[in-house]
Amino acid sequence: MQTQPNRKRTRLRTIQRALIILLPILLNILLALVIIRQVLIRSQTAQDLPTASEVTQSSDLSGEPDTPPDDDPADGSANTPDSETAQSDETAEPAVEPTEPVTLVFTGDVLLSDYVLNNYNSKGISGVVSDDLLSELQQADLTIINNEFPFSTRGSQAPDKQFTFRVDPSYVSVLTDMGVDIAGLANNHVLDYGSDALLDTFDTLDAAGIDYMGAGVDMDRASRLITREIGGMTFGFLAASRVIPVVSWDVANASPGVFTTYDPARLVATIEAARSQCDYLTVMVHWGIERDAYPQEYQTQLARQYIDAGADLIIGAHPHVLQGIDYYQDKPVCYSLGNFIFNQEIPRTAIVKVTVEKDKEPTIQFFAASASGAYTSLSSSEEKASIYQYLEEISDHKISLDADGVLSH
């Protein structure tokens, strides 16, 4: 028979054995419960998360998801409907700004003769051109002239030449006062005082911020396409001369020199290459017979080759008088605008204002003018009507100019 202490020891051993067996089982049960709980939590979280497409739709421009409506922002302010609208606006496509029309103004020959400079010295630019005409020049997006002389005090006068011109570089201010942006140098006077004077001209125009075309230190520079980016469009300009006194003026034969177009092949190739680089391409050509109101047959033939190559507009110079207007392939050819600023008297001249707007037909407008006492001004209504009628008479019969000088064909 077991004594009382022995019985207690027996019961303790029995409890110990039971605990040894039950404890691992209890631990496994607890571990299983923990695992099950974690699985349930992850499943519920996955159900609450937005899908990939929902995240994309609710993201702002930085790529971060929007704050859920029931979450307060960091500064404690409420996420009001106004703030939601602001976030929505940020993701909207920016509005496309409408393009403004671009205006190009072309003048005829410019020579700063002694008569012109006397007026400029006494009255400034207002003594050279009238205020209303000056306004058209200055307000244009681009103003382009034929610069019929070199800016220099150096060089020797060309031999056996009836008229030779040269102007002190300080008077480039006449051009800047008029708002000139581009000067054509492809003509029969830029080398009147030799290569040094032409080099001075390049430097003078560069310093004044005026682009030049049609002449240069080599063929690449003389035939270079001048481009300007305005109103979402690229405007290109080229210049060449069909009139030089001697072959040594041709940049192909001397440096510096003039880009010529006696043989049109090089200019045609240049136009073809330029076509892909600009939306609107103007070619200025020095050609024709002085004082002749009608273009020569070769001018018409050249104009058509240039337009076939890709020119949108042709502006001519050299005759010193107005010549007619023609259209070819719906592209205008202004054979000559005459003298703009020159000697004392200019009976008839005009500036041409071209308004270009994307995907629309350009508008061509003539502003009739004349000069007296080396002062160029817009013509009166009666004089305008007379000049417009004259242009119609000497032009292709299909063109007409309305009372404001707007060209149609």
Annotate the chain with three-state secondary structure: CCCHHHHHHHHHHHHHHHHHHHHHHHHHHHHHHHHHHHHHHHHHHHHHCCCHHHHHHCECCCCCECCCCCCCCCCCCCCCHHHHHHHHHHHCCCCCCCCCCEEEEEEEEECCCHHHHHHHHHHHHHHCECHHHHHHHHHCCEEEEEECCCECCCCCCCCCCCCCCCECHHHHHHHHHHCCCEEECCCCCCCCCHHHHHHHHHHHHHHHCCEEECEECCHHHHCCCEEEEECCEEEEEEEEECCCCCHHHECCCCCCEECECCCCHHHHHHHHHHHCCCCEEEEEEECCCCCCCCCCHHHHHHHHHHHHHCCCEEEEECCCCECCEEEECCEEEECCECEEECCCCEEEEEEEEEEECCCCCCEEEEEEEEEECCEEEECCHHHHHHHHHHHHHHCCCCCEECCCCEEEC
pTM of the model: 0.76
Instruction: Report which of 314, 396, 404, 313 is spatially closest to residue 362, judged by C-alpha positions.
Output: 313
Report the C-alpha gap between 409 and 402 in whole angstroms: 11
**For the segment 157-207, what is each residue's pLDDT rounded down to a tens digit?**
999 899 999 999 999 999 999 999 999 999 999 999 999 999 999 999 999
Query: What would the mean pLDDT of 113-142 be, rounded to a whole number?
Result: 98
pLDDT grade, residue 87 (50/70/90)? Answer: very low
In this predicted structure, the answer to whether residue 29 has a pLDDT above a threshold of 90 is no
Convert 150-179 to b/e letters by CB count within 10 Å (16 or more is b): bbbeebeebeeeeebebbebeebebbebbb
pLDDT grade, residue 397 (50/70/90)? Answer: confident
CA 111 to chain centre: 28
Residues in CB range of 390: below 8 A, 6 or more apart: 322, 348
Q: Are 300 and 326 in contact (CB under 8 A)?
A: yes
pLDDT of 196 reads 98
Percentage of the chain with pLDDT > 90? Answer: 74
Instruction: Report which of 202, 219, 220 is spatially closest to residue 211, judged by C-alpha positions.
Output: 202
Query: What would the mean pLDDT of 104-130 be, rounded to a whole number?
Result: 98
Backbone angles phi, psi at 408, to 5 degrees: -140, 160
pLDDT grade, residue 40 (50/70/90)? Answer: low
**Least confident range of 73-87, 175-189, 206-220, 275-289:** 73-87
In this predicted structure, the answer to whether residue 88 has a pLDDT above a threshold of 50 is no
In this predicted structure, the answer to whether residue 48 has a pLDDT above a threshold of 90 is no
pLDDT grade, residue 26 (50/70/90)? Answer: low
Torsion (CA) 336, 342, 345, 347 in degrees, nearest 10: 10
pLDDT of 85 reads 42
Mean pLDDT, all residues of the chain: 85
Query: What would the mean pLDDT of 119-146 be, rounded to a whole number?
Result: 98
More confident site: 372 or 21: 372
Residues in CB range of 231: below 8 A, 6 or more apart: 99, 100, 101, 102, 141, 356, 358
**For the segment 279-338, what is each residue's pLDDT rounded down to a tens digit?**
999 999 999 999 999 999 999 999 999 999 999 999 999 999 999 999 999 999 999 999
Q: Are 354 and 311 in contact (CB under 8 A)?
A: no
In this predicted structure, the answer to whether residue 58 has a pLDDT above a threshold of 90 is no
Domains delineated in the chain:
104-408 (3.60.21)
More confident site: 8 or 313: 313
pLDDT of 24 reads 64
Tokens of 127: 């003594």
For residue 68, whether the previous peptide bond is cis, meaning omega lies within 30 degrees of 0, is no
In this predicted structure, the answer to whether residue 74 has a pLDDT above a threshold of 90 is no
Query: What would the mean pLDDT of 204-229 be, rounded to a whole number?
Result: 98
In this predicted structure, the answer to whether residue 275 has a pLDDT above a threshold of 50 is yes
In this predicted structure, the answer to whether residue 100 has a pLDDT above a threshold of 80 is yes
pLDDT of 37 reads 62
In this predicted structure, the answer to whether residue 229 has a pLDDT above a threshold of 70 is yes
